[in-house]
Structure 1
Amino acid sequence: MPVTTVSAAAHITPVVVKTFFEHGRTKAKKFKDGDQEEEATDDIFFHQAFKIVKSFIELGTKNTIESLQGFTNTHVPSPYWAAVSPVSIPLSSCNKAADTLINWFGPDELKHVVGGERWWQVRGLDGVDAEWITQKEYLTPEPITPDLRTRNLSTADADILRMDHLERVILYVHGGGYFWGSINTHRYQIIRYARKSHARAFAVNYRKAPQYPWPCPLQDVLAAYMYLIDPPASALHKPVDPSKIVFAGDSAGAALCLTTLTILRDMGLPLPAGAVLISPWVDLTHSFPSVMANSETDIIPEYGFLAKPSTLWPVDLLPPDGGRVTRTTSNPPPAPGHVDTLKPTASHIEKEKDEPKSPEIKTQEEMLAQGQIEREDRSQKQASSSSQTVVEDESWEPKPPKVLMKDHTSVPLELHSQIQIYATTEQLCHPLVSPVLQGSLGNLPPLYIIAGEGEVLRDEIVYMAHRAAYPDQYPARKGVLREGRRQKENAERFTAPTKVHLQVFDGMCHVPTVFSFTESAKYAYRSVAEFVKHTTDSGNENLQRNPFPELQGPPSALSVLPDAEGKDEAKRSMVSRLKGKLGKPAPTPEASEDIALYKANEEVVMQAVEDHLNTTSATDVSTSSQSSVLGTKDIRMIRERVDIHGLVRSMEPRDQISALQIEPSAIGLIKEEPTLRWLCGQEKWDKMFKKQAKKALKRRRKLVTKAERMVQNAKEQGLAFTSDQRPPVSQHPSNVSMVSKASIPSRMTVEGDIQAERRWGPLDLADENPPPSAIAGRRDTPEAIALLKKSIYHTAPVTHSVVPHIKTIDVIRAAFDPHDHPTKAPKQSVSEQQTHTHIIPFHGLRIWDTLVGYFARKTSDKAARGGKHAVAAIKGTGESLGIISPDT
């Protein structure tokens, strides 16, 4: 049964009942044992919500990817108190983004790593779905100016003009593992961010994998930013100043935000004012320990994002000969083009010619030793051939599909199936796929980063945050710098620390803000809002001096206290003030509990600065003439933990955080434990859904026949290309809008047209190598055929010179196909195009919002009574408030 509101309710209801009794037994046991330690799951509402979300995601893994995508990309009406205006980011903005990416990659990387420059530009829609969102009360009274009244704008379009006075813009990129979720699943969260920030938000519904894998989503996010700062003439909004934009996203969306920032930085394009990264997924190789340690405390499924087989996914419906994971079949260097390396070097190709076809496979230890010998040989040759010795570390590092083994004396494992939906296995260590591997994360705008203590991504988030703040102390893996020309340049160019505010939330799982009714999440929303307001209102010069809104007080607030007695008095005074602030019985609209909590935490941070700077010698803190807010101290990072009541405390020193002790050489490598866990789950799915996999395989063959017939019929009806020659891959696509209108024959049907802004279609990829899951290069899925038909008969790219007529027999077939249409373009992939339901008047996404609202009301009394918990927590941590990390 596919993922629907009914199936989700049927799956989740037993979980709710079981959790209710389980919660009671757990609380009783804690009371009996005298356990006074507070946990997030002590709250029955959080416990239930956690189990509901975890159960829903597990339900998704037992259904097809298309089913989960369709459910989470179903249009849900917005609440009456919000102004939501749908727009389409046009192809012109998409093409600007494509040009930027093409220049970033360069021709060699486009060919060997990405698979070409065309396939990822193919899309089913005539743009990218997006929404302008804000609070209705923020709209101006007059909907439109007199000269625009004649345009007969809809209410939604008029609202875009009415919110244009709001200078602050949050560009929000939703999460969902890169393959599910939409602006509909996240709309209520986005509305809350816009309301609290007194801003307007722009949410982008980027294309999803596996139909549109990397770098398709990246292009769409970049196009959204181009649309904001350089809108086309058809756009209703005025150009937005980049200094008034803040990127924000969660999970995969947060990683897309970070990756987009690095591209803008690398290409010298204007950067936004800052970015909010909520549980960013920055390491798709799963090389950090928390991936294995935190499975029980997170909502992410134990085996990862598996799925019931369909024509779409997995790529290998049945296990390949020998299995999905086997002992390695090659020693380094790999065969040319082998997935062991992202792109073959000249030395690899030459060496392969002389190597035997079946070399003796070495152990991992022997491979490492061989790499050391080869490195020394290269160093000696360089020394003898040059007056200046150049020593480059080229020791072998196991890259996908090679697996790093715990036992070095064993033969490494090798992956023969794609393990992540977003990108091919060999692409996982690319810095634009796993941004934790960037050559440098310096020179970026201020970052506010949130993580849950119990989430599987915790370690990579903490490590990434410190890499950004301390680019000199957390270098990139040498293999990344060696293979990526741009990454090596970036490590040398971008050495300025990025200002980072990192918060890890106690007891919380992946994306803590999903549970918006909890006290800590309410604080997070307020903190995000204050960050947005501060970064967009400060101006570049002031922002360089102080990117942290918590430290925006007058300089006197940070004056150095004369002695220890004075510091103790200040701490006692702070606790006294917190008693008054957090002990109020009920919030008011002007001073709600999240505002009071934020102000209280702000005082904790301010006091911590004083305490830390009093005990830090001058040699430990660098000086900066721009740091007027902080005196002579240049603070590059705030590091905090947040308890379940939303109260902050210091994070332990860096040398006590295990994730920060990992060597760069071990980051971004696929390791044995997560590989075997994934294999265990995949083998279970292979056994459970063996029949479905075989059926999907048969259907794939039938669909290929159908696609071949469609193309043949189109050719018979006149399908042709410009001069029957398609532009070579090396030709820059900005020149491909190239075919003059005079050269395009007039033989076009009323059903379709040749679009000048549309560069490529699925028939333009003969010399490209798209990933196996990309529907642009496939003919064996219903969505791929829908894309092909639309490109031939309805919205042809400029490479087509004729839009043919549809054969009568094809029209008849389409009339009986529920997924097709006899005269209109078929509905495109649910990974791109929203669906609309008319069967039932409610949807699971609205039910979730109703539940969240119910939980919020039920926990409001508890939040109001949280004063005693706040005071106790601050008293307990008052002796160690070193929250600030100085520039050491």
Structure 2
Amino acid sequence: MGKLDNPISLLREILIRVPLIIKTIFLHAIRLSHVTGKQDLRTELTVAVIRSFLTFNSPIGQQQKDSIRDPGIKGPMWVSKVTLPQPENDVQDAVIKAIEDLKVGDETYSIPGVAPVEAEWTGHRSGVEKNTPQPDISEEAKYEELCRESTDETVILYFHGGIYFLCDPCTHRPVVTQLSKRTGARVLSVRYRLAPQNPFPAALVDALVAYLSLIYPPPGSLHDPVPPSKIVLAGDSAGGNLCIVLLQTLLTLRRICPTIRFHGRDIPIDLPAGVATSSPWCDMTRSMPSVHHNSIYDFIAPPTQDPASIYRPISVPDDDIWPAKPPRIDLYANANALLHPLVSPIAARKDLWKDAPPVLIAMGEEGLSDEGLVLARRIHEAGAPVVVEQFEGMPHCFGMVMMGTPSGRRFYDVTAEFCRDAVAGKMAAGTPLSGEITYIGYKLLGTRQIPLDKAVPLTDEEVDERLRMNAQWRLEGERELQREWLEKVKL
């Protein structure tokens, strides 16, 4: 992933990919493409080009900087930047209580501290051209204009994707603006702390601060209190993971610690109206069959390391933030914590999802699909409402990378409908489509319903064994990495 803001650099990168583009068009035209009948030309080209850019060959710090460069605010959106004040350490303590309650072994993690959380209120702005800049007014005035155009009391609390170490609310403004436009809701998009500088559970602490700040606004907040019944958590990829683990944190705290100290008040832990996710990352170990079977349709490459070898972390040039010291295998979490339910929610026992609000999982036919389907099955079997839409041949987060396509439009329409129904209290475990996948065919030409218990040909025991084996492989790799590091330090 390189710098593409320079026109000359961008032109060079495009020219390098001309042979790839020509080859893709030619094979598609003569119907010899491996994805014929699953992807149209636009989708196939999009996947091929994005895949070619995802090389991750520069230092992690540089990748971060490149991914969070603010493109500016213009067009049909209102953006009001805010900082949610730092609360007491009780928020961190509550997250740690949830982590400890859900531990199944000797998982270790960092103590992140509590910090102010930056965020962006975002809403649709009508009647302007795509290049119209925001007026030069205060953030409070922008928020007032945003509220004036918001037609619904719903608030969407949004967490961006980016593998937990890339991206920012500024990269996801078009996505949240679409959600605002279709729902009439205000969207609060959160700038949570990124790994590897801030590993698990820093992002989760920030997410809880943002959620509680909506319900119980700290002094000086622009917004009035938002009832939890009017809040929908939403996110894509790693942001979908953060939505789901925040929900699991809230469910756990309601059971073990139902009140929390927040800006001088003891407040109850309440659940949101629902959770809407796009291609959620539910398995940090990448253990499910779809990571290989569906890689042909996806721009996310499948794992390439041989399980018979020693597991190694991502190979990139060193900088001051990676490798970590002491080293670890994963950018986000210690290897012994990868199967903690607040890291990989696929590993949570199904009974932990009891009393969960409605959950939407929208996905393509992608590498992450099996883990999302297994999670949906477990939520359903716990008696909670879950709605799943899977789009044939579509890649990871297709709603974000292919917004103007028919599939992209359907994704946003379905998400908006789910948000409205969740806030209206229309979702229940026994309603139609709860417990089934709506599988949407190529080019939206047809749909069929698939029971969740038939979606993934793995039993819960087989899923758990795959997770255990892959987690153990990573743990052994991390131990060897740390042994090598200690030897170098001694020298």
- TM score, norm. by length of structure 1: 0.46
- Is residue 51 from structure 1 mapped to residue 52 from structure 2 by the alignment? no
Q: Which residue of 2 aligns with 1:252?
A: 238
- 8 Å CA contact retained: 1:73, 1:180: yes
Q: Of residues 59, 65, 68 in structure 2, which corresponds to 1:70? A: 65
- 8 Å CA contact retained: 1:175, 1:252: yes
Q: Which residue of 2 aligns with 1:430?
A: 340
Residues 25-44 of structure 1: pairs in structure 2 closer than 5 A:
25-30=26-31, 38-40=37-39, 42-43=40-41
Q: Of residues 89, 93, 104 in structure 1, which corresponds to 2:98? A: 104
Q: Which residue of 1 aligns with 2:132?
A: none
Q: Of residues 523, 529, 533 in structure 1, which corresponds to 2:416? A: 529
Please list the CA deviations of residues 185-212 of structure 1 after superposition, one character each: whole Å capped at 9, or x if unmatched: 1111111111111111110010010000
Q: Which residue of 1 aligns with 2:139?
A: 156
Q: Distance in 2 between matches of 1:647 and 1:207?
A: 41
Q: Of residues 113, 116, 121 in structure 2, which corresponds to 1:132? A: 121
Please list the CA deviations of residues 789-820 of structure 1 after superposition, one character each: whole Å capped at 9, or x if unmatched: xxxxxxxxxxxxxxxxxxxxxxxxxxxxxxxx
Q: Of residues 227, 231, 245 in structure 2, which corresponds to 1:241? A: 227
- 8 Å CA contact retained: 2:109, 2:333: no
Q: Distance in 2 between matches of 1:242 and 1:91?
A: 21
Q: Distance in 2 between matches of 1:674 and 1:507?
A: 31
Please list the CA deviations of residues 402-447 of structure 1 after superposition, one character each: whole Å capped at 9, or x if unmatched: xxxxxxxxxxxxxxx6332110111111111111111222321111
Change in CA separation of 1:36 and 1:81 when aligned onto 2, cut-off 3 Å: closer
Residues 166-185 of structure 1: pairs in structure 2 closer than 5 A:
166-185=152-171
Change in CA separation of 1:543 and 1:110 when aligned onto 2, cut-off 3 Å: closer
Q: Distance in 2 between matches of 1:74 and 1:436?
A: 32
Residues 313-332 of structure 1: pairs in structure 2 closer than 5 A:
313-315=322-324
Letter in 2 for 1:102: I
- 8 Å CA contact retained: 1:62, 1:308: yes
- 8 Å CA contact retained: 2:217, 2:224: yes
- 8 Å CA contact retained: 1:128, 1:220: yes
Residues 340-419 of structure 1: pairs in structure 2 closer than 5 A:
418-419=328-329
Letter in 2 for 1:97: V
Q: Distance in 2 between matches of 1:438 and 1:675?
A: 19
Change in CA separation of 1:530 and 1:313 when aligned onto 2, cut-off 3 Å: same
Q: Distance in 1 between matches of 2:59 and 2:45?
A: 26
Q: Which residue of 2 aligns with 1:272?
A: 272
Shift of 1:4: 4.6
- 8 Å CA contact retained: 2:78, 2:124: yes
Which has the larger Rg?
1
Shift of 1:218: 0.5
Residues 845-864 of structure 1: pairs in structure 2 closer than 5 A:
none
Q: Distance in 1 between matches of 2:11 and 2:329?
A: 30
Say how many residue pairs are matched.
444
Change in CA separation of 1:303 and 1:75 when aligned onto 2, cut-off 3 Å: same
Please list the CA deviations of residues 97-149 of structure 1 after superposition, one character each: whole Å capped at 9, or x if unmatched: 32421332459979964456xx40165xxx121000001249xxxxxxxxxxx
Change in CA separation of 1:314 and 1:68 when aligned onto 2, cut-off 3 Å: same
Q: Which residue of 1 aligns with 2:398?
A: 512
Q: Which residue of 1 aligns with 2:436?
A: 638
Q: Which residue of 2 aligns with 1:462?
A: 373
Q: Which residue of 1 aligns with 2:260?
A: none
Q: Distance in 1 between matches of 2:104 and 2:295?
A: 36
Q: Which residue of 2 aligns with 1:21?
A: 22
- Is residue 661 from structure 1 mapped to residue 459 from structure 2 by the alignment? yes
Change in CA separation of 1:55 and 1:674 when aligned onto 2, cut-off 3 Å: farther
- 8 Å CA contact retained: 1:97, 1:220: no
Give secondary structure in 2 for the equivalent of 1:467: helix
The sequence identity of aligned pairs, in percent, is 29
Q: Which residue of 2 aligns with 1:91?
A: 86
Change in CA separation of 1:169 and 1:464 when aligned onto 2, cut-off 3 Å: same
Q: Distance in 2 between matches of 1:113 and 1:503?
A: 33
Change in CA separation of 1:226 and 1:673 when aligned onto 2, cut-off 3 Å: closer
Letter in 1 for 2:120: E
Change in CA separation of 1:190 and 1:88 when aligned onto 2, cut-off 3 Å: same
- 8 Å CA contact retained: 2:156, 2:188: yes
Q: Of residues 386, 395, 407 in structure 2, which corresponds to 1:500? A: 386
Please list the CA deviations of residues 156-198 of structure 1 after superposition, one character each: whole Å capped at 9, or x if unmatched: 2123234446411111100011110111111111111111111
Change in CA separation of 1:97 and 1:56 when aligned onto 2, cut-off 3 Å: farther
Please list the CA deviations of residues 571-628 of structure 1 after superposition, one character each: whole Å capped at 9, or x if unmatched: xxxxxxxxxxxxxxxxxxxxxxxxxxxxxxxxxxxxxxxxxxxxxxxxxxxxxxxxxx
Residues 577-726 of structure 1: pairs in structure 2 closer than 5 A:
636-653=434-451, 656-661=454-459, 663=461, 664-671=463-470
Give secondary structure in 2 for the equivalent of 1:132: strand
Q: Distance in 1 between matches of 2:13 and 2:439?
A: 32
Shift of 1:256: 0.6
- Is residue 263 from structure 1 mapped to residue 249 from structure 2 by the alignment? yes
Q: Which residue of 2 aligns with 1:201?
A: 187
Change in CA separation of 1:658 and 1:232 when aligned onto 2, cut-off 3 Å: closer
Q: Distance in 1 between matches of 2:80 and 2:223?
A: 12
- 8 Å CA contact retained: 1:500, 1:637: yes
- Is residue 286 from structure 1 mapped to residue 269 from structure 2 by the alignment? no
Change in CA separation of 1:534 and 1:21 when aligned onto 2, cut-off 3 Å: same
Shift of 1:520: 1.0
Larger proportion of helix: 1
Letter in 2 for 1:66: G
Q: Of residues 364, 373, 378 in structure 2, which corresponds to 1:452? A: 364
Shift of 1:510: 1.1
Letter in 1 for 2:357: P
Q: Which residue of 1 aligns with 2:316?
A: 307
Shift of 1:15: 5.3
Give secondary structure in 2 for the equivalent of 1:261: helix
Unaligned 5+ residue runs, structure 2? 128-135, 255-268, 305-313
- 8 Å CA contact retained: 1:463, 1:659: no
Shift of 1:285: 1.7
Larger proportion of strand: 2
Q: Which residue of 1 aligns with 2:174?
A: 188
Change in CA separation of 1:533 and 1:11 when aligned onto 2, cut-off 3 Å: farther
Letter in 1 for 2:470: K
Letter in 1 for 2:468: L
Q: Which residue of 2 aligns with 1:81?
A: 76
Q: Distance in 2 between matches of 1:229 and 1:647?
A: 42
Q: Distance in 1 between matches of 2:464 and 2:244?
A: 22
Please list the CA deviations of residues 263-310 of structure 1 after superposition, one character each: whole Å capped at 9, or x if unmatched: 111222211111111111111122211223333332223458543222
Q: Which residue of 1 aligns with 2:259?
A: none
- 8 Å CA contact retained: 2:68, 2:166: yes
- 8 Å CA contact retained: 1:640, 1:649: yes
Letter in 1 for 2:185: A
Q: Distance in 2 between matches of 1:465 and 1:262?
A: 14
Task: Indicate the RMSD between aligned Cα atoms, in angstroms.
Answer: 3.5
Change in CA separation of 1:112 and 1:671 when aligned onto 2, cut-off 3 Å: closer
Q: Distance in 1 between matches of 2:216 and 2:86?
A: 13
Shift of 1:643: 2.1
- 8 Å CA contact retained: 1:520, 1:643: no
Q: Distance in 2 between matches of 1:13 and 1:673?
A: 41
Q: Distance in 2 between matches of 1:2 and 1:446?
A: 39
